[in-house]
Each structure stands twice: as structure tokens, then as C-alpha cells.
Amino acid sequence: MQSEQLLIWLDIASEAALAAGALVRDRWGKVESIREKGQAGDLVTEVDQAAEAILLAVLGRHLPDHAILAEESGAIGAVTNPYQWAIDPLDGTTNFAHGYPVACVSVGLAIAGDPQVGVIYDPFRDELFRAAAGHGATCNRQPMRVSSISTLAQSLLVTGFAYDRRETADNNYAEFCHLTHLSQGVRRGGSAALDLANVACGRLDGYWERGLKPWDVTAGVVLVREAGGWVTAYDSSPLEIASGRVLAANPQLHPVLSQALLNTPPLSQWPTPAAQ
């Protein structure tokens, strides 16, 4: 019954993501209000809030007994509820606010803390990524798999930087530089959910980031797992979403990428370019 129920919840999540994504697409280039939510660079627009209202309405109508953790509205329902939706109405708000079309809607369900259902909708490419535990992962209803790249030298990676990067030395800059030297390139998309979706469908080979929230990654974790990838902590130990750190890659590259992250020298040890 649980397996069949997951598919029902997957369809509900898809309904919500598509409805919110339609609004995001319709409001493209029409943003009226942009403000910071606390940390420098952490933006919110009226589109975020309107899209979240749609997500909450759909989930609330179908699943009133489930709890929700929403980026803009916070926790809704009992924190002890084993069914916890983590929703991001517009992952990539900074991109969206600047007219850069890399953003998405992310809807994920964790059951007793374990991600089980994930839907990510990219309204600009009209791509719907879906996955439920034990049922595989698809993009626009076509099966998808992670890549088979096994070496960093052949890999294309992706990462991001937390909003507190200006205040902390643990800011991912050293890792970004180190992996850029070792790989074919490291991209910085600006949407953690889309980064994970792109790993899941094999466009990118690996992803890591710190400073993440459950609404950033819950859906994407399911996608990568169901597409055959591994999602863990940096050191390959079991993923703890509350830690804010995620490492995702195909099974061949994952241990190599994990070791490279652990071996990254601090920025203070990087050579200073010689004076001209």
C-alpha cells in the first residue's frame, strides 16, 4: 500500500509544481517587489509568495493531515508529523529577479526524515522531473539515469555558495577552486534543486554544496537516488539533511569526489600569483 500511496503523492506533488510553475513563467520579467530576507543576497519577490500560496493550496486540499516546511511560510503542522513536505516555490530567486532563466519549483516529501517523493519543475525549459522511492526517476515521463563518468578529469561538476559566505571561512571557495583544477569544469547554476535534477538526468556528473535547507534538496535527493546516483554527506557517511551539506554523484565518481573534497587544502595554503 505504501508503494502505491507514494505514486498518488507523486501525482499530487506534480499537480502542485506545475500550477506554481505556470505562475512563475507567467510572471517572468514582471517582478514588482524584490527585498532581502535577512542575509545579504537572500532575496524574495511577490512571485515567490504567490507561487508558494499555490503549492500550499494544492497540498492542503489533497493532504490536510500532512505537515509542510515552506521556504517563505515556515513550518505548517506538527514538527512530529512523520509526513513532512519541503517546498520551494522559486528556487533560484536571485536568477529570476535578474532575468536569468535558471529557476524552478521544488516539491519533496520526507517520511520519518527520509526523502521519498520528489518533483522539480523547470518552467523555462518545460521540464518536469519526478521520482518516488522504488519507482525510478523520469524527465517529462521518460526514464532518466545518472552519468557513468568515473574520473574527475572527465567530469563536469556543479556547486553553489551559501548566503553566509561573506562571514565564514567555511565558504566553499577552496573546494570550488580545487575541483575546478581537477575536472573539466565546475558550474554554478544558482538553483540547488536544478543542480540535483541535472545530476539525476546525467547532464552533470557530481554536485556538492553547504548551507542548504530541506526545501532546497529534499526533492532532488529522491531524483538522484532513483536515477541510480548516491547522495551522502561529504565524507560518504549517510546524508543528514539538517546538516545543510550534500554530496551527490553517480556511483563511480562519488567516492572520488568525496575524497577530493576531504583533501581540499584551505585557501591559506594556495599559492599567491607572482607579482608582475
Helix, strand or coil, per DSSP, at residue 10: helix
Indicate if the pLDDT at residue 30 is higher than 90: no
Q: What is the pLDDT of residue 215?
A: 97
Is residue 2 very low, low, confident or very high in pLDDT (cuts 50, 70, 90)?
Answer: confident
Question: Residue 43 has what DSSP assignment?
Answer: E
Per-residue pLDDT tens for 111-124?
A: 999 999 999 999 99
- CB count within 10 Å of CB 40 equals 11
Block residue for cell numbers 546525467? 202
Is residue 164 very low, low, confident or very high in pLDDT (cuts 50, 70, 90)?
Answer: low
Taken in order of first residue, the domains within the chain and their CATH numbers are 2-143 (3.30.540.10), 152-266 (3.40.190.80)
Alpha carbon distances (Å) from 116 to 10, 87, 134, 201, 224: 9, 14, 9, 18, 11
Question: Residue 132 has what DSSP assignment?
Answer: E
Per-residue pLDDT tens for 256-272?
A: 999 999 999 887 777 66
Is residue 275 very low, low, confident or very high in pLDDT (cuts 50, 70, 90)?
Answer: very low
Q: Identify which has the larger pLDDT, 167 or 9.
A: 9
d(C-alpha 200, C-alpha 147), whole Å = 8
Indicate if the pLDDT at residue 106 is higher than 90: yes
d(C-alpha 13, C-alpha 23), whole Å = 16
Is residue 40 very low, low, confident or very high in pLDDT (cuts 50, 70, 90)?
Answer: low
Per-residue pLDDT tens for 233-256?
A: 999 999 999 999 999 999 999 999
Alpha carbon distances (Å) from 45 to 19, 89, 90: 18, 11, 9
Block residue for cell numbers 532518466? 144
Q: What is the pLDDT of residue 1?
A: 46
What proportion of the chain, given as a percentage, has pLDDT over 90? 81
Per-residue pLDDT tens for 46-86?
A: 888 999 999 999 999 999 999 999 988 899 999 899 999 99
Residue 186 grid coordinates: 565546475
DSSP conformation letters of 137-179:
EEETTEE--------GGG-EEEE---GGGGT-S-SSHHHHHHH
Indicate if the pLDDT at residue 39 is higher than 70: no
Average pLDDT over residues 88-92: 95
Q: What is the pLDDT of residue 72?
A: 86
Indicate if the pLDDT at residue 38 is higher than 60: yes
Q: What is the pLDDT of residue 276?
A: 42
Per-residue pLDDT tens for 184-221?
A: 999 999 999 999 999 999 999 999 999 999 999 999 99
Q: What is the pLDDT of residue 41?
A: 58
Average pLDDT over residues 165-173: 75
Indicate if the pLDDT at residue 44 is higher than 90: no
Residue 150: what residue type? Answer: S
Confirm if 45 and 89 have CB atoms less than 8 A apart. Answer: no
Query: Within 13 Å and on the Cβ side, how many CA atoms surround 14?
Result: 17
Mean pLDDT of the chain: 92
Residues 228, 231, 236: CA angle, nearest 5 degrees: 120
Residue 105 parent element (H or E): strand 104-111
**Relative orientation angle of helices 46-62 and 2-26, to the nearest 10 degrees:** 150
Q: Residue 152, Cα to own-chain centre: how many angstroms?
A: 22
Residue 128 grid coordinates: 518536469
Residue 62: what residue type? Answer: H
